[in-house]
Amino acid sequence: MTPPTDADIHALAARVAERLLGQGRRLVVAESCTGGWVAKACTDLAGSSRWFLGGAVAYANEVKIGVVGVRSDTLGRDGAVSQGVVREMATGALERFGGEVGLAVSGIAGPDGGSPGKPVGTVWFAWSVRHDDRFEVRTSFEQFAGDREAVRRQAVAAALRGVLEV
């Protein structure tokens, strides 16, 4: 698969903006392997402050714990690139930053850092929607091909597409 272009990512972010504005919802993010790229794509759009609140680049485990509320036992049990961690990142972002839709992404972009169980290109996503006092969370796993840039581009696009589906 050819990685998405800047124009593709911009178009996805514009669709997310339209959807969230139409629903009266605001997005928060907790990003690891994408390094703030989802937030950049969102804030590249004029007027994004009406639907995008902000978030955190939670790259290191101590930031995942201290800033977005991932439990250390979840990290110890599942590892940073896991369903459990992205679930806690997405809900933790909503709890700490507000908003109605939370997005989390954590993966191994490469070129190193992979393992047989979690090779380079492994990316986990979570999308959380606030319903009064509870969160509805959906997770997804992808195995992307390509170099570091390609993996990250694909992850940003997948993260934004997921917002359109929640």
pTM above 0.95, yes or no: yes
Beta strands 134-143 and 52-57: pairing type? unpaired
Q: What is the pLDDT of residue 1?
A: 72
Tally DSSP H helices, then E strands, for the chain.
6, 5
Strand 122-131's sheet: what is its strand order? 52-57, 27-31, 101-107, 122-131, 134-143
Digit-coded pLDDT (tens) for 53-106: 999 999 999 999 999 999 999 999 999 999 999 999 999 999 999 999 999 999
Sign of the torsion angle spanned by Cα atoms 79, 157, 41, 99: negative
Q: Cα(8)–Cα(11) distance, rounded to whole angstroms?
A: 5
All structural domains of the chain: 6-165 (3.90.950.20)
